[in-house]
Every structure is written in C-alpha cells, then in structure tokens.
Structure 1
Amino acid sequence: MTAAGPGSVPPVAVAQQSLPREVYVLSVVGGCVMLGLGLVLPVLPVYAATFGAGPTQIGALVALFALMRLATSPFCGRLGVRFGERRVLVAGLLLCAVSSVLTAFAGSYGQLLVFRSLGGVGSVLFSVSALATLLAIAPADQRGRASAVFEAGFLLGGICGPALGGLLALIALSAPFVAYAVLLLAAAALTLAVLRTGRTAGAGPGRDVVRLPVLLRDRRYVVACLAALAQGWVLFGLRSALVPTVVVAWRHDVTWVGWAFTISAVVQALLIMPAGRVVDRAGRRSAMIAGTGVAAVAITALVFVDRYAWLVVLLSVYAAGSALLNAAPAALIGDVVAGRAGSGVAVFSMCTDVGAVVGPVVVGLIAERVSVPAAFGSGAALLVVAFVASGTLTTVRPTRRS
C-alpha cells in the first residue's frame, strides 16, 4: 500500500468558507429517507406478523433488506459511470417509494419479501450515489464538514422517525409505509429540482474512472474501509442485536433500550457538526485516531459493565467517537477518489453492509457459545485494528484543490 499523497489528510488552516448549497440539499434528502425508514422499521415486525410470520420469518424479512443492499452494491459504480450519480440517486429514491407503496398493500408474506427486497436495491442505489455526489461536489478542505452535514440529516431523521411511526400506526399499520413513499417522492422531486446545476457536473456521466486495484493500493482507502467495517459490525451486530438482549436480561423493560439508543443518538447528533470541523482542521489522521480510539475504549469497557446507567454512559461515549467516524472515513474516501467515477464509494459502502449482515450472526454465535463479554470483545478488536491502521496515515498540509 502506498502512503497518503499530497493534500490527502488535511489539517486546515484557512478561513472557513460556506459549503456548496447542494451539500445541504443532499442532507435534507437523506433526512427524508431516514425519517421515512424510521417510520416503518418499528412497525415492520408487527405488520409482518399480521400475515402469520413468526420470529424466524420476521428476521429473514429484516435481513433480506441488508442482503439486497450488499448484493447490489458492486453494480452501483458502473451505473454511476454510465448514467451519472444524480440519475441513479433519483432512480433509487423512486424504487424505494414503489417498494414502500407495494408493501403497504401487500397481500401475503411472500409479497412482503419481494417488495422489501426491491427496497434494499433502491436503498443502496440512493446511498452510494448520494455519497459519491457529495464527495464530488465538496472541496477537499470542506469534505469533513460536508460529510458531517450529510450525516446530520440521517441522524435527525432517525431520531424523529420511530416516534412518528408509532403514531401513524395507530391509524393503520400500513400508514407508515404510505408516508414513507410520500417522503421519498418529495426527496426525488427536490433532487430533480435542485441538483441540476453545473456544480453537480463532477458527478455526471463520462467522468474519469479510478479502478478498484488502484484504490486498494492506497493506505487511506484501506483504512477508511476498515473503519466502515468496524462501524457496521458494532452498530448492527453489538448495539442493535446484542445490547437489547443484555438490557432485558438485567430485568429492564424494552422501553429502556429505546431510551439508551435515543440518548446516544442525541449525543451523536450534537457532536456531528463539531466533528466535521475537526476532520477538516485537525486532519483526517487525527480524527481517525481519536474516533477509533474513543469508540474502542467505550466498547471494551462494555465488557465489564453490569448496570444500566453505565451502559448508557458508554453508549454515549461511543457515540462521540462515532461522530468522528461518520465524517473522517468519508472524507478520506473523497480525498482518494477525488471526484472520479468507479466502484470506490460502492465498495466503501459494502464494508459497512458486510459488518451489518455478518456482524449480528457472528456476534450472536459468540454470545451463545463463548460469552457476552467475548461478543463485545469482537467489536472492540475490529476498532483496535482500525485504530492501529489510522496511526499509519500521513498528515500533510491541505490545498483547496487537493
């Protein structure tokens, strides 16, 4: 692997400039998508149960969405090269909208499987294309802030969605799916109306293409992918799959799980914008080291926790590290790809999806056959690997054109 090139891991020492308008538009679009996803996720298991689905079938329904994302990711780069990221982004939003409407009017569990799989395809088309567009638009010395603004939309949508979904479900279990479709159509309309300026030319068809073997020889790219894998593993394997069972085992109601997740999400939302400024001003290397280090310490400490209050504290500490890891790896990918087309952003996204698909299964097996502390240790180990790898990055002085 080669060392980082000039201008690649920038500590910024220039006056702060305004972000391109398109960055905020992408954040709003992402917020709409995550708000809608938050509407349907809490309702989906209950909705599937009305078709006679048991726990295993419900689990398969949830897992299928992530599997379809993973299976579709390799094709996103080629589609972006041929049609441009903006068109692929809109196609993903529309496909998700169609999936959500069909889900609302599904007549059987089998139909639910098909319609949710379509949603997984649309989801990855949107997410990969949106991130590729963002990194193509944002100048090098603003990629940390731009990534933070982008993630802030997702975080706010994710915080508000579940509560609103519960209220809509009181009307009808299908109502959140219809509302999700409306939000997606609004997001598609906003994308078509605003992301048509010359600023998005860098994300259009006909761009220079960077091949995956070239990217894999760049240390920055590999480190960012390692961090993405660790994040996917911890967020979906440990936090989402293991923490709820631990809290219930402590004889707390599942409501306590929701409060723990909400508090940590609020902490992350409050810190995401400062984290973006740190990524641009202190540099990618410092942000990566701090983010992976704080996250690794928090997850390692969970091994020794047996009280709910300490669990909430450590999840909040992890959220602080995660705020940096939402901005820094994406900025690194932007530095490497530098607006060129190809599979770079898609493979980066796949690393998170691999962690999200494999993590819950492996973590569950470790918890059952070894111990729960060992399961937490698996996530801590991945974060430590990313931490050590982050220390090999090179810090250099930035330029706006780098």
Structure 2
Amino acid sequence: MALPQAWRCVIALCIGFFMILLDQTIVTVATPAIQKDLGADYGQIVWITSVYLLCFAVPLLVTGRLGDRWGPKRLYIAGMTLFTVASLWCGLAGSIEQLIAARAVQGLGASLLSPQTMSVINRVFPRERRGSALGVWGATAGLSTLLGPILGGVITSAASWHWIFFINVPIGVVSVVMVYLWVPRFKPSDKPIDGVSIGLSILAMSALIFAIQEVQRAWWIWLLFPVAAVCAFFFIRRQARVIGRDPLVPLSLFERRSFTFGNVSIFTMGFAIAGMMIPIMLYVQQVRGLDPLYAGLLMTPMSVLSFLLSPLVGRATDRMSPRPLAMTGFGLMAVGVAMIAGMIAAGIDVWWILLANVVLGVASPLIWAPNSTSTLRDLPGSLAGAGSGVYNSTRQLGSVTGAAVIGLILQLPIGDSPGITFAVSLVPAVILLGVGMWGATASREIPKNNPPV
C-alpha cells in the first residue's frame, strides 16, 4: 500500500482508539458529580470505571485473534458501533445501575476494536516505516490517557457529566465512516480458532481481573487467584497441543525476546498511568479544594509536551534503536511520579505539580512509541492480530492492577496527614516503572537484515 493511503488508515483507526482510552480516565474527574446526581455510594461509583476495565480487558486475547480470523476491518467497525451506541446509553442513564450496565457494553466495544489498530498498522506499513506509525499509535494511547482528566474537568464544569459520554457519539460515527472508506480488507485466516482456548482464556482473565478489582471486598475473592492460575496453566498447555486449529496465543510469539520484555514494560506503564491519576485527582480536589476544571488543568504540561514530542520520537524510532529511548522514558517517568509523591507528602503548593508534569510530559512519548515499536514491529502478518491482542491485554491488565493496588492503599490509615496516604499510594507506580526500565534494557531487536518469517 502507498504511504499516503497507509497514513489515512492510521488516522481513521486512531480516532476510535483515542476515544476508547480517553473513556478510561475522563470519568475520574466527573466522579463526584455523578455520585451526587445519581445518589450512588462509593462501591457503585468505583464500578463505573471497574466494569469498563473488566469488559475491556477480559476478551482482548480473543478479539485480537478474531481480527485474524474475520478481518480487522470488520471487527473494528463492529466494536466502534457498539461503543458509540453504549456511549449514548451512558449519557441518557437515569440511575447508577443503568450507567454501570452501559459502561460494560462500552468496554466490550472497546475490546473488539482495540487490537485491530496495531494489527492493521503492521500490515500496511513496511518495516522501515512502522516505527513512525506505531509512534503515532503510542502517542494516541499516551495522549488520550493524559487528556482524560483535562477534558473531564472542562466538560463537567461547562456542561454536565452526561456530555463526557455524548461527545463520543458524533466522533464514533465519523470513525466508522472513515474506517469503512480508508481501511482495506485483508484476507482472513481459513483456520478456525480453538474454542477450548477461548473458554480457558475468558475464565482465566475474568477470575484474575475480578479478583484484582475486588480483593479487598471479601475473603472468598482470594479463591479466584488459584482459579485463574489453574485456568492459565491449562490454557498455556493447550496452546502447545492444538491440532488443526489456530491457537489463541501462538507460543512462538514469546520466542522473540523483544516481544516478551516489551510486554513486561507495557504492563508497568499501564499500571503507573491508570493508578497515579486516582490519588492525584482525589488529592487536589478533596484535600486542596480545586474544582474539576483546575484539577484537570494541572495535567496540561504533560499532555501538551506529549503531543509535541510524540511525532519527533516516532520518527526517531525509524532511525535508531528504540531501546535507549524507552529506557530513558521509563527512568524519567519514575522520577516524575516520585516528584509528585514528594510534593504531596510535603504539602507544598499544589501548582508545583506542574513542574513534575513537565518531566512526565517528556517521559511519556519516549515510552509509548519506542516500546510499541520494539515489541511489535518485527511480527509477521500471520501473528499481527495475536501479538496485538497480547500486547493490549497486558497493558489493560496493568491498568486494572494499578487502579486496584493504588485504590487499596488509599483506604489504609497511613500517617496523620491525608497527604501522606496519597503520597504512599504512588510508591508502587515508581517501583513498577523501574521494572519497566529493566524490561526495556533486557529487550533485543531482530536485525533489519534478518526479518521475521
């Protein structure tokens, strides 16, 4: 495919991808308004985000492979249509129960379309240009997550929380039309996907993610962890023994060192980004008294710098190894989060957080684009959907884990000042970002003159 046409594909796909990731964080700033308007308790409010993440993350391994089986274009359009209809339902919801149900459908739509974006990029771009394209994908992932609190604050202050969902509807329609017109159809795989693998995957992911989200609620939730482990064991064993059908996750993917360690790193980034937004937004609003608009504006430097630097970093990944870029990004990200934790603990003026967000704004594009490139650029077309599904599943699992772990710490009585609890809750994110830096260091790329087969 000619490069101008390939770039049109990226634009069409990233519009929807931006929207589904935006909806992970845009709700956080509007949470107090939703709680007041719908008369919800704390447990119900938590599930507005939790059910979206659950229904987004659980099917990702399956939906990535379904893109290979039925075509990524079909899966994307189906997912975007479902997400758009569910967004309208969210905006019209008159009770907290309706809103939670609509968010579940939103998550399922997001799961259908998310893996198809990377799968198409790997098929329409030559290897030497995939870095720039995956850089745009990574920038979209990073920017959408960071812009969520800002847009949530602006929309909630200017209109009402309903409009954080209504705004998705026209954008979703435009995305479906653009994908229909600009994204080509690819020949689907003629091998059926192993049904037993699908069942084991859904059982393992459902048990694991639900257990992570609800572990503090009741003792019996802990029993889901061994259930998830047993299902995962039989799932992995099944992948090596499937005959006559496509395995859901070909184990040959993990023979690539760059793929394995790239997934380790993206887990830590998902953990940090999803987790750190919760204490920061709660601290600046509940402890320091900022309204939603100003709370969202605190994240402006991170978003602006990410937007400006992402194209430059994307082009750099085509000219040099992405590994040192990713290593630098993870290191700076850890420093930035540690700075915010220190500022909160010290109780200094909240606007000093802007300085830390400058560091995070430089770090974010250095992670998303290079890590995506080193992990996925060298996958053959036959593994594009499966690899994308695994990568997106890993990222979402990190997001769910980060939100759960940091949310759990926020409920612990730590110190005499509320600021101390918020600061301590950010420590796991700093540690995990260090692990992400190690993953970027340990990764190895396939030489350009030795492409995958």
TM-score normalised by L of structure 1:
0.82
Distance of 2:165 and 2:369 partners within structure 1: 30
Q: How does 1:69-80 map to 2 (within 5 A)?
A: 69-80=56-67
Q: Against the structure 1 CA distance between its residues 38 and 298, is the aligned structure 2 distance closer, same or farther, given a 3 Å change threshold?
A: closer
Q: Deviations over 1:99-127 (max 9, x none)?
A: 12223333433222222101000012111
Q: Against the structure 1 CA distance between its residues 71 and 49, is the aligned structure 2 distance closer, same or farther, given a 3 Å change threshold?
A: farther
Distance of 1:242 and 1:302 partners within structure 2: 10
| Cα displacement (A) at 1:151 | 4.3
| Cα displacement (A) at 1:168 | 7.2
Q: Give the counterpart letter for 1:237 in structure 2.
A: G
Please say if residues 301 and 361 of structure 2, whose CA atoms lie closer than 8 Å, have aligned partners that are also in contact.
no
390, 394, 399: which one pairs with 1:347?
390
1:299 has 2:337 as partner:
yes
Q: Give the counterpart letter for 1:113 in structure 2.
A: I
186, 192, 195: which one pairs with 1:201?
186
- Of residues 303-312 and 379-388 in structure 1, the stretch that sits farther from structure 2 once superposed is 303-312
Q: How does 1:3-402 map to 2 (within 5 A)?
A: 20-31=7-18, 46-47=33-34, 49-153=36-140, 155=143, 158=147, 161-162=151-152, 165-166=155-156, 169=159, 174-196=162-184, 201=186, 204-206=188-190, 211-238=249-276, 240-248=277-285, 251-254=288-291, 255-305=293-343, 306=346, 307=348, 308-341=350-383, 342-367=385-410, 368=412, 371-394=421-444, 398=448
Calculate the aligned-residue CA RMSD, in Å: 3.2
Q: Deviations over 1:46-65 (max 9, x none)?
A: 35643332232121122110
Q: Deviations over 1:235-281 (max 9, x none)?
A: 1111x111123334763414442121122111111111111122222
Describe the SS at the equivalent of 2:382. coil
Q: Against the structure 1 CA distance between its residues 156 and 350, is the aligned structure 2 distance closer, same or farther, given a 3 Å change threshold?
A: closer
Please say if residues 83 and 105 of structure 2, whose CA atoms lie closer than 8 Å, have aligned partners that are also in contact.
yes
Distance of 1:31 and 1:361 partners within structure 2: 23
| Cα displacement (A) at 1:232 | 1.2
Unaligned runs of 5+ in 1: 1-16
Describe the SS at the equivalent of 1:181. helix
| Cα displacement (A) at 1:359 | 1.1
Q: Give the counterpart letter for 2:298 in structure 1.
A: A
Distance of 2:263 and 2:113 partners within structure 1: 19
| Cα displacement (A) at 1:318 | 1.7
Distance of 1:108 and 1:250 partners within structure 2: 28
Q: Against the structure 1 CA distance between its residues 245 and 61, is the aligned structure 2 distance closer, same or farther, given a 3 Å change threshold?
A: closer
Distance of 1:386 and 1:99 partners within structure 2: 34
| Cα displacement (A) at 1:339 | 2.3
Q: Against the structure 1 CA distance between its residues 364 and 146, is the aligned structure 2 distance closer, same or farther, given a 3 Å change threshold?
A: same
Q: Give the counterpart letter for 1:286 in structure 2.
A: P
Distance of 1:377 and 1:163 partners within structure 2: 26
Indicate the structure whose relative CO is greater, using CA pairs within 8 Å and at least 6 residues apart.
Answer: 1
Please say if residues 288 and 325 of structure 1, whose CA atoms lie closer than 8 Å, have aligned partners that are also in contact.
yes
Q: Deviations over 1:173-207 (max 9, x none)?
A: 645534422221221111111113xxx537x4459
Q: Against the structure 1 CA distance between its residues 216 and 91, is the aligned structure 2 distance closer, same or farther, given a 3 Å change threshold?
A: same
Please say if residues 32 and 187 of structure 1, whose CA atoms lie closer than 8 Å, have aligned partners that are also in contact.
no
Q: Against the structure 1 CA distance between its residues 352 and 218, is the aligned structure 2 distance closer, same or farther, given a 3 Å change threshold?
A: same
Q: Against the structure 1 CA distance between its residues 119 and 324, is the aligned structure 2 distance closer, same or farther, given a 3 Å change threshold?
A: same
Q: Against the structure 1 CA distance between its residues 319 and 88, is the aligned structure 2 distance closer, same or farther, given a 3 Å change threshold?
A: same
| Cα displacement (A) at 1:298 | 2.2
**Overall identity of the aligned pairs, in %:** 22
Please say if residues 259 and 376 of structure 2, whose CA atoms lie closer than 8 Å, have aligned partners that are also in contact.
no
Q: Against the structure 1 CA distance between its residues 206 and 106, is the aligned structure 2 distance closer, same or farther, given a 3 Å change threshold?
A: same
Distance of 2:138 and 2:438 partners within structure 1: 25
Partner of 2:227: none
| Cα displacement (A) at 1:303 | 3.8
Q: Against the structure 1 CA distance between its residues 44 and 135, is the aligned structure 2 distance closer, same or farther, given a 3 Å change threshold?
A: farther
Distance of 2:284 and 2:23 partners within structure 1: 27
Distance of 1:296 and 1:81 partners within structure 2: 36
| Cα displacement (A) at 1:233 | 1.1
Unaligned runs of 5+ in 2: 192-245, 415-420
| Cα displacement (A) at 1:300 | 3.1
Q: Against the structure 1 CA distance between its residues 362 and 39, is the aligned structure 2 distance closer, same or farther, given a 3 Å change threshold?
A: closer
Q: Give the counterpart letter for 1:229 in structure 2.
A: F
How many residue pairs get aligned? The number is: 379
Distance of 2:157 and 2:252 partners within structure 1: 49
